[in-house]
A and B are shown apart, each in its own frame.
Chain A
Amino acid sequence: MTCNDRNRIFEDGTPGEWAALEAHATGCPACTEELRAWKALSVAAQELRNYSESPALWTRIERALAVETTAKP
């Protein structure tokens, strides 16, 4: 495992390769920093997750489906 393997692992690494990269990073500041930044993006992505309910939305959809069904020839 060398720093040259890093991008390939980021793109399509197996769990074993990720573990090897983590182990390599313990002695490599460059890979430590790259791993930190890479994982940070995944964590930051949670900020875009808002699964709040929209109680009125299903009612709206149901009504629209009913209108469409009755309008069908």
Chain B
Amino acid sequence: MGTMGLALPWEARISSAPRERGTRVEPFQHFSGGTSPAAGDVINEDARLAAACQSGDVRAYERLYVLHGTRMKNLARNLLGSPVDAEDAVQETFLKIHRSVASFRGQSSFVTWTYRILINTCYDARRSRLRKKEIANDDSGENPRPEPRAPGAHPSLRMALERALAALTRHQRDVFLLYEVEGFRHAEIAGMLEITETASKNTLFQAKKNLRQMLEPPRSSGAEAR
């Protein structure tokens, strides 16, 4: 089996029972969307947070950081490949929110808007980094710098996944990270990436199909389709 030279220890950790639409593991309670009574509280919290940020209350920004800072940093780290660049991107995102929050009109949730800014900030940072590398004629590539790993993480699997993600299209990578890693719903991802929910689902499907081919090419077994 071709697994990029890795023995991927996946099988042992897979539950036999499907989770919501295919075993996604939820990292957080969701902060927006949905129609449950709790979702109403979340929407109110989102609106209150937006209003407080618009009033210039620094405690509102701190609240936003407490609620989303670690997830924002994780997403940025996965998009930029470096924890240092990720922290810069999160800081820059907060400054951009501060500069433009007056123009926020609630077309999407405040949190969705925040993540949209973060994602755009990360891509601006990537472009800027590439330009600097071109100028410096640095041929070291865009390989992520080594970093401390999460407790219990499997470094070879993570590295294989990071390499495979780098080979996806931008949209496929974004949707995979937002859905599978950060646990957002397709409706939320659609708002962040300004695409339809259907496009988000289709993009995730394509991303996973491609990742599967890269990480674990289909076995040539005698199993026939039924």
- Residue numbers of A with Cβ under 8 A of B are 2-4, 7, 10-13, 15, 18-19, 22, 24, 27-31, 33, 36-54, 57-58, 60-62, 64-66, 68-69
- Residue numbers of B with Cβ under 8 A of A are 8, 10-11, 13-15, 17-25, 27, 56, 58, 61-62, 65, 69-71, 73-74, 77-78, 87, 90-91, 94-95, 98-99, 148-150, 153-154, 157-158, 161-162, 176-177, 180-182, 198, 201-202, 204-205, 208, 211-212, 215-216, 218-219, 221, 223-226
B181, A49: Cβ atoms closer than 8 Å: yes
Task: Tell me how far the C-beta of A57 lies from the nearest C-beta in chain B, rounded to whole angstroms.
Answer: 5
B91, A39: Cβ atoms closer than 8 Å: no
Cβ–Cβ < 8 Å partners of A2 in chain B: 225-226
B94, A65: Cβ atoms closer than 8 Å: yes
Cβ–Cβ < 8 Å partners of B78 in chain A: 48
Task: Tell me how far the C-beta of B60 lies from the nearest C-beta in chain A, rounded to whole angstroms.
Answer: 11
7 new A-B pairs (CB below 8 Å) besides A57-B90, A66-B58? A3-B225, A27-B226, A33-B223, A42-B180, A48-B74, A49-B27, A69-B56
B8, A41: Cβ atoms closer than 8 Å: no
B158, A48: Cβ atoms closer than 8 Å: yes
B223, A48: Cβ atoms closer than 8 Å: no
B71, A51: Cβ atoms closer than 8 Å: yes
8 Å CB contact of B11 from A30, A36, A48: A36
Task: Tell me how far the C-beta of B25 lies from the nearest C-beta in chain A, rounded to whole angstroms.
Answer: 6
A65, B95: Cβ atoms closer than 8 Å: yes
A51, B14: Cβ atoms closer than 8 Å: no
Which residue, of B18, B25, B73, B219, has the highest number of chain A Cβ atoms within 10 A? B18
Which residue, of A11, A24, A27, has the highest number of chain B Cβ atoms within 10 A? A11
Task: Tell me how far the C-beta of A4 lies from the nearest C-beta in chain B, rounded to whole angstroms.
Answer: 7
Cβ–Cβ < 8 Å partners of B17 in chain A: 22
A33 to B224, CA, bound (A): 11
Q: When A and B form their complex, what is the total count of cross-chain residue pairs whose Cβ atoms lie within 8 Å?
A: 162
Give me 21 A-to-B residue pairs in the complex whose CB atoms sit less than 8 angstroms apart, sorted by A's number: A2-B225, A2-B226, A10-B208, A15-B20, A28-B223, A28-B226, A40-B11, A41-B208, A43-B10, A43-B23, A45-B161, A45-B181, A47-B150, A47-B158, A47-B161, A51-B74, A52-B70, A54-B69, A58-B65, A58-B69, A61-B65
A54 to B221, CA, bound (A): 47
* Among all A-B residue pairs, the 3 with the closest Cβ atoms: A40-B10, A45-B180, A50-B150
Cβ–Cβ < 8 Å partners of A39 in chain B: 14-15, 18, 22-23
A42, B24: Cβ atoms closer than 8 Å: yes
A13, B21: Cβ atoms closer than 8 Å: yes
A54 to B201, CA, bound (A): 32
Cβ–Cβ < 8 Å partners of A46 in chain B: 25, 181
